[in-house]
A and B are shown apart, each in its own frame.
Chain A
Amino acid sequence: MNSEITVNVCLGTGGIAAGSEMVMEEFRKEFETAGVKNAKFGDRCKIHKVGCRGFCARDVLVDVSVGDKTWTYQYIQPEMVKRIVKDHVLGRQPITEWLVGDDYHTFHDNQKKVILGDLGKIDPESIEEYVAVAGYTAARKALTQMTPAEIIETMKKSGLRGRGGAGFPTGLKWSFCAANESDDRYIICNADEGDPGAFMDRSVVEGNPHAVLEGMIIGAYAIGATHGYVYIRAEYPLAVNRLNMALEQAKEKGFLGKKLFGTSFDFDIKVKLGAGAFVCGEETALIASIEGERGMPRAKPPFPANKGLWGKPTIINNVETLANIPAIINRGAEWFASIGSEKSKGTKVIALTGKIRNTGLIEIPMGTPLKDIIFNIGGGIEGDKLFKAVQTGGPSGGCIPQQHIDLPVDYEGLKSVGSMMGSGGMVVLDETDCMVNISKFFLEFTQAESCGKCVPCRIGTKRLLEILTRITEGNGRKGDIELLQELAEDVRDSSLCGLGMSAPNPVLSTLKYFRHEYEAHINQKKCPAKVCNKLLTFFIREDMCVGCGMCAKACSVAAITGEKKKPHHIDSSLCIKCGSCFDACKFSAVLKE
């Protein structure tokens, strides 16, 4: 990175999907061509692959640093590389129209990056680069200068809480585990990220895998574990590759294996791939899966900290939790505790998606108001539509309405309004989203991902979904709202694991804040947001229709008739309300009411 000119190309999954591997190849080719003409060029210039920097919507993102100045380009495609090399790298003339705009800076400047700080800066495939940013110094310090008890005390003082969802204090959990008499203990990194739309753990493992390993080494030493596992989804091939690469490198350097950092402490890590079950993110199901059993949760107590993997005391920490640990050891518990709100310390990585201008991965101090996230970092609602709600915590979370827009985003804040932090998913909804449909969407996910072990979750979520489905299809009955409420509460209160306990949250929170939408669906057979097709009437505005016939072509039941170049007409007695005509019309002439 000491080269005079450095080109950083985002090689996270988002970047690769947008074509960054080809962009990088193009840079390599262009540089070679240029290098032939100027023999010195190769020494002075470096192409550098980096992890995800969060703003995946703008990929491929490319940084060009000349001397100590950096320009960032967005939406870069392979064919644009030639000009960047010619004009900017060789000609020292940045291409202003391709540079990121102010919104890119608003997106980043309003964040506080502890976890994501090195993502987008260092090459995740190089341990040297991680070491260059003080990597593994925390592990060295912990193992050579601190006792396990001191580390646990530091974690307790820092106020770090589990980032996987439940928010249990990490130091306390470690102390429970360390207190057990046992000949063996385990530490597991839970990288089985499964919430739809969530990709924080994926990005961290892809962009800075060594931070996670370092956190595990420190945790293992603190609780006295000699073996560790990373349980990661097989659907994350890039993360798995980089993790394996990082493990190899760490072993070579002696950061893993026998007698770490010259101490008598031995520790090794194995990677275990998850086979795609959402429920395996639940810690007891995860343990069952590592043991080779079907991934089904077990009743707690006993808690894994007392009796976990192979019946031994086990600590399971989320990727993000572990990635925080090196920073806490290096910079101190007080520093960490100074970030965040009263009971939730540090930062939280959030996957910001939905009807918002700037989508991507962000990191904010705990307690940041919802409003700041949506309107500053997120840049407000797409298309200047009205904000309706924000769904947090993934499929197990809840919907937070406009009236709570000032809510601080931390464990307590989100819980107080019937939602949760979860792994940190945040889906912004606007006036065109139907809340009944949203809760149906999440129930579709949770009921399909239920393991089927306990009755309330297995059958209860199915019945909740059936009731929601009939409401959105116009078959809602009087009493359905009360039935939903009762069943949702019962599933919440009597399910075995976190999946069943939290699966009704989308229903309960929308019933609480958007009951009128349910009532409109059931009583007036209307969908106020005009989403549920079965409750709408489709018609064509004659003054807008140009008679192109696209709608008639799209209609599978021949309900649309009309002469060419003359306004068409929908026969509502034939219409099955599939919405194909609405999607097919390029002139916004098909309306639904």
Chain B
Amino acid sequence: MIHLTIDDKSIEVPAGTTVLEAARQLDIDIPTLCYDSRLKPYGACRLCIVEIAGFPKPVTSCTTPAADNMVVRTNSALLHRLRKTTIELLLSDHPNDCMVCVRSGDCTLQELAYLYDVRENRFSGGMRDHNRPDANPFIQRDQNKCVMCGLCVRVCEEVQGVGAIGYSNRGFEAKVCPPFEKDLNCEFCGQCVSVCPTGALSGKMWAGQPRQEGVKLTDSTCTYCGCGCNITLHSHGDRLIRVSSKKTSHNRGWLCVKGRFGYDFVNRGDRLTTPLIRREKGGALEPASWDEAVQFVVTRMAGIKEKHGPDALAGLASARCTNEENYLFQKFFRSVIGTNNIDHCARY
């Protein structure tokens, strides 16, 4: 174990812990933009700088491993000045249209600007013009709001293993983009959207929907597959307007395209809310009660089994069920119906 002192508080951490992680264990707040505990440290935003006794200049706490007897200071006039300059520089090349930005109230940059009281900007000057229409169906890219924290690139590479985006150009004109600056064409899991600290990446479906006021958050479980990812439903009135997932969930906040963006059907008027039964051959599907529907299935299955034997029946299970449900389903077919005709949609 390693002993170190951060802002006069001592702490013991296992070897390999970074100074930032140690400080967070002590509930010491160090600002960050490019840090995410789930990804490799990157050291680009330069906000998590701290002073360490014996080091000639401030270092980024996210990349510096804690060492024995380290004495760390996370706040000083110099650190405050350097952080404020960094935030001011970022804002000097930012649209600053928080009033109409999808991330207002939920934006790290906005919060930092407020905390560091950046009202006027000493560095106003030329700004990037990287916005361009991207026809992909899910992800809204407002590149002029990008702070180049690299979280999207890293999550795509490290977590999703896709690598659909990378960097191009140098210096001030550097930007994140898909290969050859084409439209985004990936699996649209939206992990990039979930880690973006600003409004540079958002869901296209989020546009024009309530952001904070009147939005109700309800924790739930995704029903798309057996993984059972924890999700948080954002609703406004009786409408579902966004799906997110918490970092603390068993799925660590990661979702797939269906879990993150496949919620549109919930708000549709033609969505099925009761079972339907075709009572006569060639007739229309008619609403029925659950009791009637279940009884209908039981009667038909029993009839077929009796008349044609159990192998006349087959069961096709769904990936949307949990493992336990799928286990029960095959058990039902093998033991109750008495057939091995059982398969699963994930095979097709």
Contacts and interface: CB of A to CB of B under 8 A. Distances in A.
Interface of A: 277, 279, 294, 296, 298-299, 301, 447-456, 458-463, 466, 483, 486-487, 490, 493-496
Nearest to A448: B171
24 contacts: A279-B170, A299-B41, A299-B60, A301-B63, A449-B170, A449-B171, A450-B172, A450-B174, A452-B170, A454-B43, A454-B45, A455-B45, A455-B148, A456-B86, A458-B171, A458-B172, A458-B174, A459-B90, A460-B89, A462-B125, A487-B122, A490-B85, A494-B85, A494-B86
Contacts of B170: 277, 279, 448-452
B252 to A, nearest CB: 24
Contacts of B85: 456, 460, 486-487, 490, 494
Given A459-B92, A493-B57, A447 B171 contact: yes
Interface in B162-186: 166-167, 169-175
Nearest to A491: B85
B64 A452 contact: no
A494 B82 contact: yes
What 7 pairs between A and B have smallest CB-CB spacing?
Answer: A452-B174, A299-B43, A299-B63, A450-B171, A459-B89, A490-B85, A462-B172
B46 A495 contact: yes
A195 B334 CA distance: 76
A178 B174 CA distance: 37
B172 A487 contact: no
A451 B46 CA distance: 15
A466 B125 contact: yes
A37 to B, nearest CB: 61
Interface in B26-67: 41-46, 49, 57-58, 60, 63-65
Given A456-B85, A462-B171, A496 B125 contact: no
Interface in B139-198: 147-148, 150, 166-167, 169-175
Q: What secondary structure prevails in chain B residues at the interface with A?
A: loop
A494 B173 CA distance: 20
A301 B46 contact: no
Contacts of A299: 41-43, 60, 63-64
A260 B207 CA distance: 67
B44 A466 contact: no
B204 interface: no
Nearest to A482: B122
Given A277-B170, A454-B46, A494-B49, 5 more contacts: A299-B41, A448-B170, A452-B172, A458-B148, A459-B92
A455 B150 contact: no
A491 B123 CA distance: 13
Given A493-B58, A494-B49, A496-B43, A455 B171 contact: no
A496 B89 contact: no
B126 interface: yes
A449 B169 CA distance: 10
Contacts of A496: 43-44, 46, 60
A298 B148 CA distance: 15
B246 interface: no
B274 to A, nearest CB: 55
Interface string B110-139: 000000000000110110000000000000
A463 B93 CA distance: 10
Contacts of B344: none
Nearest to B150: A453
A495 B57 CA distance: 11
Nearest to B60: A299
B335 to A, nearest CB: 53
A277 B171 CA distance: 11
B56 to A, nearest CB: 10
Contact of A294 (B46, B81, B166, B172): B166
Nearest to A446: B171
A348 B303 CA distance: 97
Contacts of B172: 447, 450, 452, 458-459, 461-462
